[in-house]
Amino acid sequence: MKLIDERNEELEIILDSIKEAVCIVDANGVTKYWNKGSEKLYGIKREEIIGRPITEFFPSALIQRILDEKRAYEDIYNMPREDNYNISSASPIYYNGKIVGGTSVDRDITEFMKTTEQLNKTKSNLQALKQELAILNSQKTPFSTILGNNKKLRNAIQLAKSVSPSNLNVLIRGESGTGKDLFARAIHLASGRGGNFVPINCSAIPNELIESELFGYSAGAFTGALKEGKIGKIELAHKGTLFLDEIGDMPLQMQPKILRVIEDGEVTPVGSEKSIKVDIRVIAATNRDLEKMVEEGTFRKDLYYRLNSVIIEIPPLRERKDDIQFLANRFVQDYCMEYGVNILNFSHEVMEIFKYYDWEGNVRELKNLIETLVILARNNNSKIIDLDLLPDYVIKNSSAKVKNKKDNPYDLTSIIAEVERDTIIKALKVSGYNKQRAAKLLNIPRSTLYFKMDKYGIRDEGM
């Protein structure tokens, strides 16, 4: 008897060491053995289940089915309880040709199934998001990439929209960095023309190459030419739009040839005697005074009047100060997402600097500066874009204008500024004009203190 007990104990130790859930029942489906793996998997103690029918706990238990059907099952997907997924194997136990019981081994795949389910949901959500994005994109107009609410800018956009469906040539005028190329692309997209949008920067191509770039050339047209020849930009723009950026820099000797293309709708490649019919719309852009160039004889009058069927004036950023905060916030959101940074805010002082800065490079300069500031903030673990991140040239350019603002006795901003100035002077006096201590008292960075002292014309009495 002692030997049998020892053997039973050894068997129990062995079965308990198995990670999978092991269950043994008799011929009537009454539970005889329930290992630790089963306790862990199902949360049922062995003293609760042993001696009781397995179906009381698991109505769809596979082990009961093998007793009823007198057959074994291998690696069957099974869900004995809600939110409980297993791979199960079960076999009947025979003695002297009769079924005396059954055994089952269950391997838990619940986490795997839940992960799969979550992935399927995520896939479904992504598909839904793609559909929503497609709808949003379909609702966007080509001009949605041009950001700003300034009245002059909105008027320019409205004019561009109204002429887009026509075949009128368009001249876009504006300083460098104002977004002339964005207007040109938007007009092309809104035009409905099926051909390509072909941009060419007249100032970036050497004079000796501009003709072959625009008109193309035939095989063997000149030394160094490709054997098979080359198609020109004008021909590439057939049924589409040719964008002549910086048209004011086009060489004078090329201008009559462009005029002929516009008037006749034909292009003749360099080295060829055969003309090619083209259907193009021309959009030109410049930051130069073409009227003055016409008077000086550096730009052809007839070409100018061919190009200026519609003139769209894009205001420089300094004339749309009301857009600066909107643009800065939009750019900072875009670059924070691109560089994996939490969305940053601007301090009031930085926004004030932006308001009075000249922005000679216009929107392009603002966008480039914001990208730099986001990178600096990330590298410095800054949670806000403050004065200490701004380049010196930006602060120096703006501070004199901030300082020379005309006061309005009813302007709350000016009143607050006066209180701020007095408070800074008091903090400096209390600290003995120690800038570090004064900044600490005022709870601002020392760089901000320096800026405010310069802004309000506060002299360093400690020197």
What is the reported pLDDT for 408? 54
The two structure tokens encoding residue 30: 């009454």
What is the reported pLDDT for 19? 84
pTM of the complete model: 0.59
Tens digits of residue pLDDT in 169-196: 999 999 999 999 999 999 999 999 999 9
pLDDT over 70, % of the chain: 84
The two structure tokens encoding residue 299: 């730009």
Tell me the pairing of strands 216-217 and 197-201.
unpaired
Kindly indicate the confidence band of residue 4, based on its pLDDT and cuts at 50, 70 and 90.
Answer: very low
When pLDDT is averaged across residues 190-212 and rounded to a whole number, the result is 88
The two structure tokens encoding residue 115: 């992960």
Where does 237-323 have alpha helices with state H?
A: 255-264, 290-296, 301-307
When pLDDT is averaged across residues 430-450 and rounded to a whole number, the result is 86
Q: Which of 173, 158, 447 is nearest to 304 (CA)?
A: 173
Dmax (CA) of the chain: 123
Measured between alpha carbons, how far is 281 from 191 in angstroms, rounded to an integer?
Answer: 10
What is the reported pLDDT for 231? 86
What backbone phi and psi angles, to 5 degrees, belong to 90? -145, 145
CA distances from 240 to 98, 118, 442 (A): 86, 47, 61
What's CA 223's distance to the chain center, in Å?
46
Tens digits of residue pLDDT in 88-130: 889 999 888 889 999 999 888 877 776 666 676 666 666 666 6
What is the reported pLDDT for 449? 85
Kindly indicate the confidence band of residue 3, based on its pLDDT and cuts at 50, 70 and 90.
Answer: very low
Which run of H or E residues covers position 230?
strand 230-231
Measured between alpha carbons, how far is 122 from 114 in angstroms, rounded to an integer?
Answer: 12
What is the reported pLDDT for 273? 79
Collapsing DSSP to helix, strand or coil, 251 comes out as: coil
Angle at 71 between CA 68 and CA 73, to 5 degrees: 110
What is the reported pLDDT for 130? 63
Collapsing DSSP to helix, strand or coil, 105 comes out as: strand
- Crossing angle of helices 412-430/435-442, nearest 10°? 130
Measured between alpha carbons, how far is 238 from 216 in angstroms, rounded to an integer?
Answer: 13
Q: Which of 178, 174, 180, 188 is nearest to 313 (CA)?
A: 174
Give residue 88's identity as a one-letter amino acid code: S
Kindly indicate the confidence band of residue 406, based on its pLDDT and cuts at 50, 70 and 90.
Answer: very low
Which residues contact residue 288 at a Cβ distance below 8 angstroms, ignoring those fewer than 6 apart? 248, 249
When pLDDT is averaged across residues 267-285 and rounded to a whole number, the result is 89
When pLDDT is averaged across residues 130-134 and rounded to a whole number, the result is 60
Of 83-87, 134-138, 256-260, the range with the highest mean pLDDT is 256-260
